[in-house]
């Protein structure tokens, strides 16, 4: 069943040609006689997933899987995809054409001609033709979501319908649109529990609820669990499964949770996995425009924060990375320092700022004034770390936040990257 790359590429090309020829949306099956589609060897989804060994698999023999469809593409939140689940596991289906597979359908998936592969660590069954590979047995079936906590989630739950309780959108994402329907852009919103564990809620700009605002209170969410590289993310099926009417955990009097003010910072980003959004221990990434965030990247064992619009499909990208609140009144001689680097320099879109009125939520509503520092720029070699100098904060008082802002230059697919590492705040004795 396992094909070499030499053998599988012509097959994939043929499948793409078939998709382009038959690219219309199916409203229903062509209802081939069930006797024309053999059953063959029956596998559970768990057994199906166990077959995969990091190489694409083309099914050439008669195999079948029985399951229930847990998410379809009717809402627009996913496209040309469906998710199925049985008692043993779940998997993503990549369909040759959208439609014809609906939530609640009890189906038999005939595997012959399909390809099992991993895309960015998400296991999927690709090249699924609804007429040749899917036999509907019944409809109106329900699957109970698995109750999990964010900290429990792992790759073993991939593609499953799950339920999280006691969660809320982080302060900067609460009350914001789920996605950007005007520009048809996907948006990631962060969901957190009361222990600070977080997970991405990813919503398509084509979703029929993209314009709806995320809840500002605490409660439960039912969604499909997906994975992109090392990040787990949720796909909401319907807003009726987002039930958030309880008081937020950790609220202050302003309804935000800016975190406890600090007098010491020593952040080297080593605790973050590769591609993780900067959002732990009071730190915050905020996508002002577009869907890009400050994320952690790694090189030769070193982890650092990076902002880039390289290969972005957004019309505009502006993103902020913001420190935890800093209590300068509790410090005598506060000093701030960090290192920065640039790569593939195209423009001067990197700046440093300080605010004394940021409330932990409304980034663009705060007053940010430039903070003088040595920043990596055009004059510096690519990938070379430049020290900021020792920044004296004694002229400021009260609770402040420090931020790095990145604004991309068109064309976004060809724009430079900026990096930050080894951020320190301390008393100069």
pLDDT higher than threshold 80 for residue 12: no
Same domain, 119 and 12: yes
Query: Could you tell me if 107 and 216 lie in one domain?
Result: no
In angstroms, the CA 104 to CA 355 distance is: 51
Q: What confidence tier does 412 reach under pLDDT thresholds 50, 70, 90?
A: low
Residue at a domain's end among 138, 164, 194? 138
Give the pLDDT band (50/70/90) at residue 329. Answer: very high
The average pLDDT across 368-378 equals 95
CATH code for position 358: 2.60.120.200
Among candidate residues 81, 16, 84, 96, the one with its CA nearest the CA of residue 48? 84
C-alpha distances out from residue 392 to 226, 328, 334, 368, Å: 45, 11, 6, 17
**Two tokens, residue 30:** 């062509």
Contact assessment for residue 389 and residue 374, using Cβ atoms and an 8 Å cutoff = yes
Read off the tokens for 1.
């069943």
Alpha-carbon distance of 169 to 172, in angstroms, equals 8
Whether the pLDDT of residue 24 is over 90: the answer is: no
| Strand pairing report for 63-71 and 57-58 | unpaired
| Rounded average pLDDT over 380-401 | 96
| Alpha-carbon torsion (43, 46, 52, 56), positive or negative | positive
Residue 258 has pLDDT above 80, yes or no: no
Query: What pLDDT is recorded for position 181?
Result: 92
pLDDT in tens, 189-220: 999 998 888 999 999 999 999 999 999 899 99
Give me the torsion for CA of 403, 408, 409, 413, rounded to 10°.
Answer: 160
By C-alpha distance, which of 342, 344, 305, 316 is closest to 422? 305
How many residues would you count in the chain? 429
Is residue 309 within 8 A of residue 408, CB to CB? The reply is yes
Look up the domain containing 73 and give its range: 5-138
Number of structural domains (the chain) is 3
Residue 50 has pLDDT above 70, yes or no: yes
pTM reported for the whole predicted model? 0.58
* 258 part of a folded domain: no
Q: Work out the number of other CB atoms within 10 angstroms of the CB of residue 245.
A: 9
CATH code for position 153: 2.40.50
If asked whether residues 125 and 159 sit together in one domain, one would say no
Residue 251 lies in a domain: no
Which of these three, 115, 138, 161, is where a domain ends? 138
């Amino acid at each position: 069943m396992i094909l070499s790359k030499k053998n599988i590429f012509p097959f994939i090309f043929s499948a793409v040609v078939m998709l382009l020829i038959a690219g219309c949306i199916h409203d229903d099956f062509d209802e081939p006689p069930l006797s024309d589609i053999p059953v063959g060897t029956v596998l559970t989804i768990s057994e199906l997933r166990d077959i995969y060994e990091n190489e694409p698999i083309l099914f050439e023999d008669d195999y079948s899987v029985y399951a229930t469809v847990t998410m379809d593409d009717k809402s627009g939140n996913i496209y040309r995809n469906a998710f199925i689940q049985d008692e043993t596991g779940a998997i993503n289906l990549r369909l040759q054409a959208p439609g014809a597979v609906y939530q609640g359908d009890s189906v038999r998936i005939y595997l012959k001609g399909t390809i099992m592969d991993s895309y960015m660590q998400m296991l999927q069954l690709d090249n699924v033709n609804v007429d040749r590979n899917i036999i509907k047995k019944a409809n109106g079936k329900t699957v109970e979501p698995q109750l999990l906590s964010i900290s429990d989630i792992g790759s073993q739950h991939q593609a499953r319908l799950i339920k999280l309780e006691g969660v809320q959108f982080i302060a900067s994402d609460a009350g914001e649109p789920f996605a950007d329907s005007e520009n048809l852009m996907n948006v990631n919103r962060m969901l957190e529990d009361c222990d600070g564990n977080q997970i991405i809620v990813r919503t398509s700009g084509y979703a029929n609820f993209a314009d709806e605002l995320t809840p500002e209170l605490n409660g439960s969410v039912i969604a499909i669990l997906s994975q992109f590289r090392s990040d787990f993310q949720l796909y909401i099926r319907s807003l009726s499964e987002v039930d958030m009417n309880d008081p937020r955990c950790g609220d202050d009097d302003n309804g935000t949770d800016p975190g406890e003010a600090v007098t010491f910072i020593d952040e080297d980003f080593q605790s973050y996995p590769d591609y993780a959004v900067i959002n732990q221990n009071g730190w915050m990434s905020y996508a002002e425009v577009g869907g890009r965030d400050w994320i952690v990247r790694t090189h030769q064992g070193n982890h650092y924060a990076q902002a880039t619009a390289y290969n972005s499909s957004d019309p505009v990208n502006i993103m902020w990375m913001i420190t935890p609140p800093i209590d300068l009144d509790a410090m005598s001689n506060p000093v701030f320092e960090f290192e920065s680097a640039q790569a593939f320099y195209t423009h001067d879109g990197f700046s440093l700022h300080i605010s004394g009125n940021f409330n932990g939520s409304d980034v663009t509503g705060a007053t940010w004034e430039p903070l003088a520092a040595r920043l990596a720029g055009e004059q510096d070699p690519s990938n070379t770390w430049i020290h900021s100098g020792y920044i004296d904060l004694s002229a400021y008082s009260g609770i402040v936040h420090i931020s790095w802002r990145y604004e991309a230059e068109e064309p976004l697919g060809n724009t430079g990257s900026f990096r930050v590492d080894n951020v320190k705040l301390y008393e100069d004795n």
